Amino acid sequence: MNRALSVPLAKTDPDAKFLDLDVPTWAWVVLLVCVVALLALDLWRHREAHAPTFGEAARESAFWVFCGLAFSLFFVFQFSGEAAGEYLGVYLTEKSLSIDNVFVWALLFSSMKIPLKYQHRVLFWGIFGALILRGIFIFLGAALVERFAVVLVFFGVFLIYTGLKIMRHTEGDETDENAPRAGLKLLRRFMPVSDDFDGQKFLTNVNGVRTATPLLAALVVVETTDVVFAVDSVPASFGVANDPFTILAANAFAIMGLRAMYFLLADARERFHYLSHALGAILLFVGIKLSITPWYHIDIYVSLAIIIVIMILAIVFSVWKNRQQADTPS
Protein backbone atom coordinates (compact mmCIF):
# COMPACT_ATOMS: atom_id res chain seq x y z
CA MET A 1 0.00 0.00 0.00
CA ASN A 2 1.30 3.47 -0.87
CA ARG A 3 2.44 5.16 2.35
CA ALA A 4 1.17 8.53 1.13
CA LEU A 5 -2.33 7.05 0.93
CA SER A 6 -2.21 5.28 4.26
CA VAL A 7 -4.23 6.46 7.22
CA PRO A 8 -2.00 8.82 9.28
CA LEU A 9 -3.22 7.44 12.57
CA ALA A 10 -2.74 3.81 13.51
CA LYS A 11 -2.12 1.63 16.51
CA THR A 12 0.79 -0.73 16.59
CA ASP A 13 -1.52 -3.52 17.79
CA PRO A 14 -5.11 -3.97 18.96
CA ASP A 15 -4.01 -3.91 22.61
CA ALA A 16 -1.97 -0.69 22.33
CA LYS A 17 -2.42 1.54 25.37
CA PHE A 18 -1.55 4.83 23.64
CA LEU A 19 -1.98 6.11 20.09
CA ASP A 20 0.85 5.50 17.66
CA LEU A 21 0.85 8.39 15.18
CA ASP A 22 2.23 8.15 11.67
CA VAL A 23 3.62 11.70 11.57
CA PRO A 24 4.65 12.94 8.10
CA THR A 25 7.76 15.10 7.75
CA TRP A 26 5.70 18.13 6.77
CA ALA A 27 3.87 17.98 10.13
CA TRP A 28 7.18 18.37 11.94
CA VAL A 29 7.93 21.33 9.65
CA VAL A 30 4.57 22.91 10.52
CA LEU A 31 5.30 22.55 14.25
CA LEU A 32 8.80 24.01 13.85
CA VAL A 33 7.55 26.95 11.78
CA CYS A 34 4.80 27.72 14.31
CA VAL A 35 7.23 27.65 17.24
CA VAL A 36 9.90 29.76 15.51
CA ALA A 37 7.33 32.29 14.23
CA LEU A 38 5.73 32.71 17.65
CA LEU A 39 9.09 33.06 19.41
CA ALA A 40 10.20 35.65 16.82
CA LEU A 41 6.96 37.59 17.33
CA ASP A 42 7.43 37.53 21.10
CA LEU A 43 11.05 38.68 20.82
CA TRP A 44 10.05 41.52 18.49
CA ARG A 45 7.24 42.68 20.79
CA HIS A 46 9.65 42.87 23.73
CA ARG A 47 12.66 44.28 21.84
CA GLU A 48 12.69 47.26 24.23
CA ALA A 49 13.19 46.57 27.93
CA HIS A 50 10.10 47.48 29.94
CA ALA A 51 8.12 46.23 32.90
CA PRO A 52 4.93 44.54 31.58
CA THR A 53 1.66 45.75 33.06
CA PHE A 54 -0.93 43.36 34.46
CA GLY A 55 -3.20 44.04 31.47
CA GLU A 56 -0.41 43.32 28.99
CA ALA A 57 0.47 40.08 30.77
CA ALA A 58 -3.21 39.05 30.83
CA ARG A 59 -3.65 39.67 27.09
CA GLU A 60 -0.45 37.80 26.24
CA SER A 61 -1.42 34.89 28.50
CA ALA A 62 -4.77 34.64 26.75
CA PHE A 63 -3.01 34.72 23.37
CA TRP A 64 -0.64 31.89 24.29
CA VAL A 65 -3.46 29.76 25.70
CA PHE A 66 -5.44 30.38 22.49
CA CYS A 67 -2.44 29.24 20.40
CA GLY A 68 -1.98 26.11 22.51
CA LEU A 69 -5.65 25.14 22.30
CA ALA A 70 -5.90 26.07 18.61
CA PHE A 71 -3.08 23.70 17.70
CA SER A 72 -5.28 20.84 18.87
CA LEU A 73 -7.33 21.46 15.69
CA PHE A 74 -4.28 20.38 13.70
CA PHE A 75 -4.43 17.02 15.49
CA VAL A 76 -8.15 16.74 14.80
CA PHE A 77 -7.81 17.30 11.06
CA GLN A 78 -4.50 15.46 10.53
CA PHE A 79 -4.98 12.55 12.92
CA SER A 80 -8.18 12.19 14.98
CA GLY A 81 -10.19 13.54 17.85
CA GLU A 82 -8.54 11.02 20.18
CA ALA A 83 -5.12 12.29 19.11
CA ALA A 84 -6.27 15.83 19.89
CA GLY A 85 -7.42 14.56 23.29
CA GLU A 86 -3.95 13.18 24.05
CA TYR A 87 -2.38 16.47 22.95
CA LEU A 88 -4.73 18.46 25.20
CA GLY A 89 -4.08 16.05 28.06
CA VAL A 90 -0.33 16.61 27.84
CA TYR A 91 -0.84 20.37 27.33
CA LEU A 92 -3.04 20.74 30.44
CA THR A 93 -0.71 18.56 32.52
CA GLU A 94 2.36 20.58 31.53
CA LYS A 95 0.52 23.89 31.91
CA SER A 96 -0.56 22.93 35.42
CA LEU A 97 2.87 21.69 36.49
CA SER A 98 4.51 24.78 34.98
CA ILE A 99 2.73 27.07 37.43
CA ASP A 100 5.27 26.01 40.03
CA ASN A 101 8.04 27.24 37.70
CA VAL A 102 6.48 30.70 37.81
CA PHE A 103 6.72 30.99 41.59
CA VAL A 104 10.25 29.59 41.68
CA TRP A 105 11.33 32.17 39.08
CA ALA A 106 9.79 34.91 41.21
CA LEU A 107 11.88 33.79 44.19
CA LEU A 108 15.02 33.55 42.05
CA PHE A 109 14.65 37.00 40.49
CA SER A 110 13.87 38.51 43.88
CA SER A 111 16.92 36.93 45.54
CA MET A 112 19.18 37.94 42.63
CA LYS A 113 17.67 41.47 42.49
CA ILE A 114 16.94 41.33 38.75
CA PRO A 115 14.92 44.42 37.68
CA LEU A 116 11.44 43.62 36.36
CA LYS A 117 12.12 45.29 33.00
CA TYR A 118 15.00 42.86 32.28
CA GLN A 119 13.27 39.67 33.43
CA HIS A 120 11.47 39.01 30.13
CA ARG A 121 14.78 38.80 28.25
CA VAL A 122 16.14 36.28 30.74
CA LEU A 123 12.97 34.21 30.57
CA PHE A 124 12.82 34.32 26.75
CA TRP A 125 16.25 32.75 26.33
CA GLY A 126 15.68 30.52 29.34
CA ILE A 127 12.54 29.11 27.73
CA PHE A 128 14.32 28.82 24.38
CA GLY A 129 16.91 26.63 26.10
CA ALA A 130 14.15 24.75 27.92
CA LEU A 131 12.51 23.86 24.58
CA ILE A 132 15.75 22.30 23.37
CA LEU A 133 16.28 20.51 26.68
CA ARG A 134 12.73 19.15 26.75
CA GLY A 135 13.11 17.96 23.16
CA ILE A 136 16.19 15.95 24.10
CA PHE A 137 14.48 14.49 27.18
CA ILE A 138 11.34 13.60 25.20
CA PHE A 139 13.19 11.78 22.41
CA LEU A 140 15.35 9.92 24.93
CA GLY A 141 12.25 8.98 26.91
CA ALA A 142 10.45 7.82 23.78
CA ALA A 143 13.42 5.65 22.80
CA LEU A 144 13.49 4.10 26.28
CA VAL A 145 9.75 3.43 26.29
CA GLU A 146 9.89 1.87 22.82
CA ARG A 147 12.69 -0.46 23.82
CA PHE A 148 11.74 -1.11 27.44
CA ALA A 149 8.00 -0.74 28.00
CA VAL A 150 8.48 -1.48 31.71
CA VAL A 151 10.14 1.94 32.07
CA LEU A 152 6.62 3.42 32.15
CA VAL A 153 6.04 1.65 35.45
CA PHE A 154 9.26 3.12 36.86
CA PHE A 155 8.15 6.57 35.64
CA GLY A 156 4.84 5.99 37.39
CA VAL A 157 6.37 4.99 40.72
CA PHE A 158 8.69 8.01 40.57
CA LEU A 159 5.75 10.36 39.92
CA ILE A 160 3.75 8.85 42.78
CA TYR A 161 6.69 9.43 45.13
CA THR A 162 7.16 13.00 43.84
CA GLY A 163 3.45 13.78 44.04
CA LEU A 164 3.20 12.60 47.65
CA LYS A 165 6.34 14.57 48.53
CA ILE A 166 4.94 17.78 47.00
CA MET A 167 1.59 17.35 48.75
CA ARG A 168 3.33 16.96 52.12
CA HIS A 169 5.82 19.79 51.61
CA THR A 170 3.78 22.78 50.49
CA GLU A 171 6.19 25.55 51.38
CA GLY A 172 9.18 26.71 49.34
CA ASP A 173 11.80 24.05 48.92
CA GLU A 174 15.28 24.76 50.25
CA THR A 175 16.70 24.00 46.82
CA ASP A 176 14.87 27.08 45.51
CA GLU A 177 16.86 29.27 47.89
CA ASN A 178 20.15 27.55 47.08
CA ALA A 179 19.67 27.66 43.30
CA PRO A 180 21.02 31.25 42.81
CA ARG A 181 24.22 30.43 44.70
CA ALA A 182 24.66 27.15 42.82
CA GLY A 183 24.08 28.87 39.46
CA LEU A 184 26.52 31.68 40.24
CA LYS A 185 29.13 29.19 41.42
CA LEU A 186 28.76 27.22 38.18
CA LEU A 187 29.08 30.32 35.99
CA ARG A 188 32.12 31.66 37.88
CA ARG A 189 33.98 28.47 37.02
CA PHE A 190 34.04 29.61 33.41
CA MET A 191 34.20 33.42 33.56
CA PRO A 192 34.08 36.41 35.92
CA VAL A 193 30.65 37.74 36.89
CA SER A 194 29.95 41.45 37.31
CA ASP A 195 27.73 42.89 40.04
CA ASP A 196 26.50 45.63 37.68
CA PHE A 197 24.00 45.52 34.80
CA ASP A 198 24.74 46.73 31.29
CA GLY A 199 21.23 47.21 29.93
CA GLN A 200 19.84 43.94 28.58
CA LYS A 201 23.28 42.56 27.77
CA PHE A 202 24.34 39.16 29.05
CA LEU A 203 28.03 39.94 28.51
CA THR A 204 29.99 43.15 29.04
CA ASN A 205 33.59 44.41 29.22
CA VAL A 206 35.06 45.28 32.61
CA ASN A 207 38.58 46.71 32.38
CA GLY A 208 39.00 44.99 29.02
CA VAL A 209 37.89 41.60 30.36
CA ARG A 210 34.85 39.81 28.92
CA THR A 211 32.53 39.49 31.91
CA ALA A 212 29.09 38.03 32.54
CA THR A 213 26.40 40.38 33.80
CA PRO A 214 23.88 39.38 36.50
CA LEU A 215 21.43 38.64 33.65
CA LEU A 216 23.60 35.79 32.38
CA ALA A 217 23.91 34.49 35.92
CA ALA A 218 20.10 34.56 36.22
CA LEU A 219 19.80 32.74 32.87
CA VAL A 220 22.10 29.96 34.10
CA VAL A 221 19.96 29.61 37.23
CA VAL A 222 16.71 29.50 35.20
CA GLU A 223 18.14 26.78 32.94
CA THR A 224 19.40 24.84 35.96
CA THR A 225 15.99 24.89 37.65
CA ASP A 226 14.30 23.78 34.42
CA VAL A 227 16.43 20.62 34.43
CA VAL A 228 14.91 19.84 37.84
CA PHE A 229 11.36 20.54 36.66
CA ALA A 230 11.86 18.53 33.46
CA VAL A 231 12.68 15.44 35.54
CA ASP A 232 9.09 15.55 36.83
CA SER A 233 7.17 16.97 33.88
CA VAL A 234 8.56 14.84 31.03
CA PRO A 235 7.67 11.51 32.71
CA ALA A 236 4.24 13.02 33.47
CA SER A 237 3.78 13.67 29.73
CA PHE A 238 4.39 9.99 29.03
CA GLY A 239 1.54 9.21 31.39
CA VAL A 240 -0.87 10.84 28.94
CA ALA A 241 0.71 10.06 25.54
CA ASN A 242 3.68 8.15 24.15
CA ASP A 243 4.11 9.77 20.74
CA PRO A 244 7.09 12.22 20.60
CA PHE A 245 5.26 14.59 18.22
CA THR A 246 2.28 14.93 20.57
CA ILE A 247 4.41 15.35 23.68
CA LEU A 248 6.84 17.81 22.07
CA ALA A 249 4.06 19.95 20.55
CA ALA A 250 2.14 20.12 23.85
CA ASN A 251 5.29 20.91 25.84
CA ALA A 252 6.32 23.63 23.35
CA PHE A 253 3.00 25.48 23.53
CA ALA A 254 2.76 25.09 27.31
CA ILE A 255 6.32 26.36 27.86
CA MET A 256 6.14 29.27 25.41
CA GLY A 257 3.29 30.81 27.39
CA LEU A 258 5.19 30.71 30.67
CA ARG A 259 6.69 34.21 30.36
CA ALA A 260 3.27 35.87 30.18
CA MET A 261 2.00 33.60 32.97
CA TYR A 262 4.96 34.62 35.11
CA PHE A 263 4.18 38.33 34.86
CA LEU A 264 0.52 37.57 35.53
CA LEU A 265 0.91 35.27 38.55
CA ALA A 266 4.36 35.91 40.05
CA ASP A 267 2.95 37.80 43.05
CA ALA A 268 -0.09 35.59 43.53
CA ARG A 269 1.47 32.61 45.29
CA GLU A 270 0.01 33.50 48.68
CA ARG A 271 -3.50 33.53 47.18
CA PHE A 272 -3.14 29.96 45.85
CA HIS A 273 -2.91 28.10 49.14
CA TYR A 274 -3.78 24.73 47.66
CA LEU A 275 -1.70 24.96 44.48
CA SER A 276 1.01 22.60 45.75
CA HIS A 277 -1.64 20.10 46.79
CA ALA A 278 -3.14 20.27 43.28
CA LEU A 279 0.21 19.83 41.51
CA GLY A 280 1.07 16.93 43.80
CA ALA A 281 -2.34 15.38 43.15
CA ILE A 282 -1.86 15.65 39.38
CA LEU A 283 1.54 13.96 39.59
CA LEU A 284 0.05 11.32 41.88
CA PHE A 285 -2.80 10.61 39.45
CA VAL A 286 -0.50 10.47 36.40
CA GLY A 287 1.89 8.24 38.32
CA ILE A 288 -0.90 5.80 39.18
CA LYS A 289 -2.10 5.92 35.57
CA LEU A 290 1.38 5.04 34.32
CA SER A 291 1.94 2.31 36.91
CA ILE A 292 -1.22 0.42 35.95
CA THR A 293 -0.86 0.97 32.17
CA PRO A 294 0.37 -2.61 31.47
CA TRP A 295 -2.88 -3.95 32.94
CA TYR A 296 -5.43 -1.16 32.55
CA HIS A 297 -5.55 2.01 30.45
CA ILE A 298 -7.52 5.02 31.72
CA ASP A 299 -9.34 6.74 28.87
CA ILE A 300 -7.77 10.05 27.79
CA TYR A 301 -11.02 11.96 28.28
CA VAL A 302 -11.31 10.64 31.83
CA SER A 303 -7.73 11.78 32.43
CA LEU A 304 -8.54 15.23 31.04
CA ALA A 305 -11.58 15.52 33.29
CA ILE A 306 -9.64 14.49 36.41
CA ILE A 307 -6.82 17.01 35.75
CA ILE A 308 -9.32 19.83 35.13
CA VAL A 309 -11.33 18.96 38.26
CA ILE A 310 -8.17 18.91 40.41
CA MET A 311 -7.18 22.41 39.27
CA ILE A 312 -10.73 23.76 39.66
CA LEU A 313 -10.95 22.38 43.20
CA ALA A 314 -7.57 23.95 44.07
CA ILE A 315 -8.79 27.34 42.85
CA VAL A 316 -12.18 27.06 44.59
CA PHE A 317 -10.71 26.02 47.93
CA SER A 318 -8.00 28.71 47.66
CA VAL A 319 -10.64 31.40 47.08
CA TRP A 320 -12.66 30.01 50.00
CA LYS A 321 -9.64 30.12 52.30
CA ASN A 322 -8.81 33.68 51.24
CA ARG A 323 -12.34 34.76 52.11
CA GLN A 324 -12.15 32.95 55.44
CA GLN A 325 -8.91 34.76 56.28
CA ALA A 326 -10.35 38.09 55.15
CA ASP A 327 -13.37 37.62 57.41
CA THR A 328 -11.25 36.62 60.40
CA PRO A 329 -10.44 39.66 62.56
CA SER A 330 -6.70 40.21 62.97
Q: Is 206 helix (H, G, I), strand (E, B) or coil?
A: strand
Residue 177 is predicted with a pLDDT of: 54
* Residue 327 included in any domain: no
At 88 the pLDDT is 93
Contacts of residue 125, defined as CB under 8 A and 6 or more positions apart, other chains included, come to 202, 219
The answer to whether position 184 is within a domain reads yes
Give the amino acid at 255: I
More confident residue, 271 or 20: 20
Give the tens place of pLDDT for each residue, 234-273.
888 888 888 899 999 999 999 888 888 887 776 566 667 7
Percent of the chain exceeding pLDDT 70 equals 85
- Amino acid letter at 66? F
CA dist., res. 241 & res. 224, Å (int):
26
- Residue 21, beta-bridge partner list: 9
Which are the contacts of 26, defined by CB distance < 8 A and separation ≥ 6? none
Is 5 within the bounds of a domain?
A: no
> Between the ranges 13-22, 160-169, 182-191, where is the mean pLDDT highest?
160-169
Quote the pLDDT of residue 65: 92
For the chain, what is the mean pLDDT?
A: 79
Q: Is the pTM of this model over 0.85?
A: no
Alpha carbons 242 and 20: distance in angstroms, whole number:
8
Residue 28 reports pLDDT greater than 80: yes
The size of the chain, in residues, is 330
CA-nearest of 36, 238, 35 to 153 is: 238
> Is residue 21 a part of any domain in this protein?
no
* 203: nearest Cα among 104, 116, 131, 121: 121
The torsion of the CA quartet 194, 196, 197, 198, rounded to 10 degrees, works out to -80
Residue 242 phi, psi (nearest 5): -120, -10
> Among 167, 174, 176, 173, which Cα is nearest to 275's?
167
Q: Which domain holds residue 151?
A: 27-322
181 inside domain = yes
Dihedral angle of Cα 171, 60, 76, 233, to the nearest 10 degrees: -20
Query: Exposed (0-12), middle (13-18) or buried (19+): which is 66, by Cβ within 10 Å?
Result: exposed
Over residues 310-322, the mean pLDDT reads 82
Residue 74: predicted pLDDT: 94
Total domains present in the chain? 1
Q: Does residue 136 belong to any structural domain of this protein? A: yes
Residue 138 and residue 94: Cα distance in Å, rounded?
Answer: 13
Instruction: State pLDDT tens for residues 75-112.
Output: 999 998 899 999 999 999 888 887 777 777 877 887 77
Bridge partners of 20? 10
- What is the pLDDT confidence band of residue 14, given thresholds at 50, 70 and 90? very low
Cβ atoms of 241 and 18 within 8 Å: the answer is: yes
Most confident of 7-16, 115-124, 170-179: 115-124
- On the question of pLDDT at 72 being above 90, the answer is yes
Average pLDDT of the residues in 271-290: 81
Q: Would 203 be classed as within a structural domain?
A: yes
Domain for residue 108, yes or no? yes
Reported as a single tens digit per residue, the pLDDT across 123-162 is: 888 888 888 888 888 888 888 877 777 777 888 888 888 8
Report yes or no: 249 and 87 within 8 Å, Cβ to Cβ.
Answer: yes
Q: Are 143 and 270 in contact (CB under 8 A)?
A: no
Helix (H) or strand (E) holding 205: strand 203-206
